[in-house]
Amino acid sequence: MSTTDELVIVDYGSTDGLTDWLPTQTIFRNVKLVTYNGNTEHFHLTKAKNIAHVYATNKILCNLDVDNWIRNGFSAWLLKNITEISVARGGLMSRGARGRVAMFASTFHSIGGYNEEFLDWGYDVTDLMKRAELAKLDSSIIPNEWLSHIDHGDDMRSISKNSTLALGCNKNITMAEAGKFSGVKLHYDVTVQTLSQRLN
């Protein structure tokens, strides 16, 4: 990460010691911890993604799932390849990084963000890309060389006791409903802290 990159981490009811671990990681710069103060009995994936995007301040946003990591040079690739009328995502050849989606912040808000009707994992990116298509945005695939992730099965995606759906995947929302989300909120019940504030 460069000195101008911003890393926004969402704490959505974490119980794994995230807030204690994060300040010990000196490799991170310009980190913002956003703690959701609402009901966290059930993890709400698309809401967590929207929170991260809403409280980010850079002009280009890129979703990074917890099982993904960034390689040196990726942010430079984004700056070179992402425009106000384009969106890029991880390709089908890199299943664990299909959730890596990048676009301008203004574009993200104009197409409505992630659909919060989706409660758990699955199809949220398909829905977002459908709205990008309807908005006539140019779509491209992020090259595999930038897509690093921890490989795991679908059982790990819903292993948490607070998973919202028994099967984990959003199969209850049909493709016919894709693209109908009304829009992301501009404000959520959160506490925002920088890493320097955490250290103090």
The domain that contains 39 carries what CATH number? 3.90.550.10
**Is 27 domain-assigned?**
yes
Least confident of 39-43, 47-51, 134-138, 153-157: 153-157
Rounded average pLDDT over 11-23: 85
- Is 170's pLDDT higher than 60? no
**Is 189 domain-assigned?**
yes
| Overall pTM > 0.85 | no
Is the CA virtual torsion 151, 152, 157, 161 positive or negative?
Answer: negative
Residue 157: pLDDT band (50, 70, 90) is low
**Is 1 domain-assigned?**
no
- Is 162's pLDDT higher than 50? no
pLDDT of residue 72: 85
pLDDT of residue 2: 66
Percent of the chain with pLDDT over 90: 32
**Is 2 domain-assigned?**
no
Range of the domain at 156: 7-199
Look at the chain and report how many structural domains it folds into.
1
